[in-house]
Amino acid sequence: MIPKIIHYCWFGKEPLPGKMQRCIASWRKFCPDYEIILWNEENFDLSISNFAREAYESGKLAFVSDFIRIYLLYTYGGIYLDTDVEVLRPLDDLLNNEAFSALENPDYGWIGMGTAVLGAKAGSRWVKEILHYYENSHFIHPDGSLNMDIYIHGHITGQMYGVFHADTHDYGEVKIYEKQLVYPHNALHITADSYTIHHCTGSWVTPVSVVMPAYNAAKTIAEAIRSVLDQTCTRFELLVIDDGSTDNTADVVRSFKDNRVVLIRNEHDYIGSLNLGLRRSSGKYIARMDADDVMFPKRLQLQYETMETHTEVAVCGTWMRRWEQGRNIEYQVEYGSGLLDNPFSFLKGGNSLLPHTTAFIRKNFLTENHLQYDKNYTYAEDYKLWFDIAALGGQFYIIPQSLLHCRYLTTGASYTHAREQEEATERIRKEIAAHLSPSLLTIIIPFLNEGEELERTLKSIRQTATGSPDIILINDAGTDGYDYKKTAVSYGCRCIRHTERTGVAASRDEGVRECNTPYFLLLDAHMEFYEKGWDERIIRLLQENSHSLLCSQTRVLWETRDNCDTAQSPVFGACFDQENSIQCSWNHQDPDPGKPLSVIECIRGGAYACSKAYWQHLHGLEGLVHYGFDEELISRKVYEGGGTCLLVKDWTVGHVYRQKFPYNVENKDLVYNQLLIIEFFFEGERKQDLVQSLQNTYGDTFNRAEQMIKANYKWIEKEKAYLKSIKKR
């Protein structure tokens, strides 16, 4: 039997917040006869574990408990609780297990196993396997990056029992409970059987990592550090990378007794120190700063808020105040304002997009694209990084406000290495020119479990397109095991793979954001092209019709592709002709017989093209979930905004129609998407009739979709206001 002991950890010597004190009070209320033990620096020897010691020295206090909780359960037995876990009823029923855990995020499989509530007898084999991992691991990897994998328990459990699809099951050595019993999503999901609720305070999450390389900066670094500590945004880590200083820079840094300030020593290697800072950072965002600069108090707050609002932005910079030592003058340096529509218009001329020391970078953009500073471009490393980010579709935003004071010294690299800087800049200019290829069109293909159908589509594109269009493939968390990476290489495509399904609408919008061309074609993954040079015709039409959405003529194909139903009556785009529905239907009448172009109400058929600028002006497919009603939403946006949907009748694309989708489509998502369109475009009695029709048809499913609408009410109202502001009809 598991002993009646509750273990918890609190390191860092800060007082326990009130919310957590209330959680601990709930333990005493429902487990009055349990021994409750606090573990901290006073009674736990961190030197017994490299992992725990390094996490503590790095200021990552939440990760210290990753080792300790497992060590305590193996050594003493009992129940471990995070300090943000509230107990809802007695835990005695859990004590009959050898060990127990629960799935916190079941949709993620084994990696969704929680670690906030655990229990075991002393000496548990399941616990021993996890402990063995931590005993043989370091928190700081050899390259300086941090071991912040929060899914270790799940990985090891799956390997132990040879099961790779998470299940609530009693494996004898450990029982895995269902989510509702231990980790209900929120108070609305608590049942009479729920033991606990995890409030997920996310103490291990660092919003901002400030990366400050320092070389012989003893005279200026104290002021720089103080300016960071005085920020109105207080949740950050300041990583000072001592770049092999020969003065007392390190001593000055150590004089600050704030656990947010972390000193990292490195050999003298400026680019290497910058990259070490990137790897060691744990923040969602990375803020750059030099050791002789001074932040204004609201810098981190304003940049953080900007990036949270503009989730499409990879890098946010600001204006700054510059003081030049040689001339003893101070002035404001201004670099654009707001979202930079075309960063290459700045970059190709050798101009930096923003001051390096003001950069605020979305870290996952760097990690997902394996980006860092390039040692081959020393003294122009920021210019090269901005190019690399822009080349991958990353967007840049400038806050038109001075948020940093920069010292421009005669001993700085721009003065002492001006020639090397210019040479590196010129090499980057040439790379940018090569990148800006003649291609004007990107084909965007989101897909899920398409296999050979995708290969046939790509082969058809490459055999008929004459302008070598770019192709972006978006694998929306496929599970068929097909080697799409090999397919992408074979057909010269860029492939983006999701680890979680986002749906076709979000994937299409992502593809538009990622494309580097002014025009794009959204395409299903099971299509066939016929006319040579169709891509050049589409580009010309989009150049002539900048506020239009182009739709191909559709040829119906069955799953064999070569079995074309030639007897099928032709279709001419789609129209809105259903009295009690917002759905479109095929138009079987040619609106302009004999003409190659026709204005239609709605595009349809799995192949439609637009300019990137116009799509972003319309906010694309924002708001739709998973699958369904893409064409209806974007067509209405085009119409309301004064644009046109055009059917290109001499451009035919075959569309394979299948008996069954290779993925699941939930009715609540379909109903939600229809309700969203109704919210955007309908009012009064017509709106009521459409909503009532959906309610009559879908019943309980409608109610769930309506709850989703209510949950997103604020965003919907904001988007409605925007659509109204661009409305022209």
Strand pairing report for 117-120 and 78-81: antiparallel
Q: What is the mean pLDDT of residues 171-181?
A: 88
The confidence score (pLDDT) of residue 60 equals 86
550 close to 599: Cβ distance less than 8 angstroms:
no
CATH of 206-435, one of 3.40.630.10, 3.90.550.10, 3.20.20.70, 3.60.15.10: 3.90.550.10
Strand pairing report for 261-266 and 236-243: parallel
Question: What would the pLDDT profile of 518-531 be if each residue is shown by its tens digit?
Answer: 899 999 999 999 99
Question: What would the pLDDT profile of 99-126 be if each residue is shown by its tens digit?
Answer: 999 988 776 665 678 899 999 999 999 9
Q: What are phi and psi of 336, to 5 degrees?
A: 60, -170
CATH of 441-656, one of 3.90.550.10, 3.40.50.720, 3.30.1330.10, 3.60.110.10: 3.90.550.10
The confidence score (pLDDT) of residue 186 equals 72
Query: Which among 345, 349, 347, 385 has a CA at the least distance from the CA of 366?
Result: 385
pLDDT over 60 (residue 562): no
Q: What is the mean pLDDT of residues 563-588?
A: 70
Q: Is 87 helix (H, G, I), strand (E, B) or coil?
A: strand
Question: What would the pLDDT profile of 60-94 be if each residue is shown by its tens digit?
Answer: 888 999 999 999 999 999 999 999 999 999 999 99
pTM above 0.85, yes or no: no
Question: What would the pLDDT profile of 537-560 be if each residue is shown by its tens digit?
Answer: 999 999 999 899 999 988 888 766
Q: Is 318 helix (H, G, I), strand (E, B) or coil?
A: strand
The confidence score (pLDDT) of residue 409 equals 60
Helix 125-135 vs helix 50-57: crossing angle, to nearest 10: 60
The confidence score (pLDDT) of residue 78 equals 97
pLDDT over 70 (residue 401): yes
Strand pairing report for 597-600 and 644-656: antiparallel
Burial of 305 (0-12, 13-18, 19+ CB in 10 A): middle
Q: Where in the chain is the domain with CATH 3.90.550.10?
A: 206-435, 441-656
Please tell me which of 159-168, 331-340, 479-488 the model is most confident about, judged by mean pLDDT. Answer: 479-488
Question: What would the pLDDT profile of 666-691 be if each residue is shown by its tens digit?
Answer: 899 999 999 999 999 999 999 999 99
- Residues ≥6 apart with Cβ < 8 Å to 523: 443, 444, 445, 457, 606, 607
The confidence score (pLDDT) of residue 6 equals 97
Give the span between the Cα atoms of 286 and 350, in whole angstroms: 24
| Topology, domain 5-198 | Spore Coat Polysaccharide Biosynthesis Protein SpsA; Chain A (3.90.550)
Give the span between the Cα atoms of 82 and 68, in whole angstroms: 12
The confidence score (pLDDT) of residue 561 equals 53
pLDDT grade for 332, boundaries at 50, 70 and 90: confident
Strand pairing report for 329-333 and 470-475: unpaired
User: Distances from the Cα of 68 to the Cαs of 11, 29, 124, 526, in angstroms?
Assistant: 11, 25, 15, 52
pLDDT over 50 (residue 489): yes
533 close to 466: Cβ distance less than 8 angstroms:
yes
658 close to 526: Cβ distance less than 8 angstroms:
yes
pLDDT over 60 (residue 228): yes
Question: What would the pLDDT profile of 478-487 be if each residue is shown by its tens digit?
Answer: 998 999 989 9
Lowest mean pLDDT among 28-37, 154-163, 323-332, 580-589: 323-332
Helix 125-135 vs helix 152-161: crossing angle, to nearest 10: 130
What mean pLDDT value characterizes the chain?
88
The confidence score (pLDDT) of residue 576 equals 81
- CB hemisphere CA count around 139 (13 angstroms): 23
The confidence score (pLDDT) of residue 575 equals 81
Q: Where in the chain is the domain with CATH 3.90.550.20?
A: 5-198
pLDDT over 60 (residue 569): no
pLDDT over 70 (residue 438): no
The confidence score (pLDDT) of residue 567 equals 41
Higher pLDDT, 9 or 435: 9
Dihedral sign for Cα 144, 149, 153, 154, please: negative
pLDDT grade for 365, boundaries at 50, 70 and 90: very high
Beta strands in 105-170 (DSSP E): 117-120
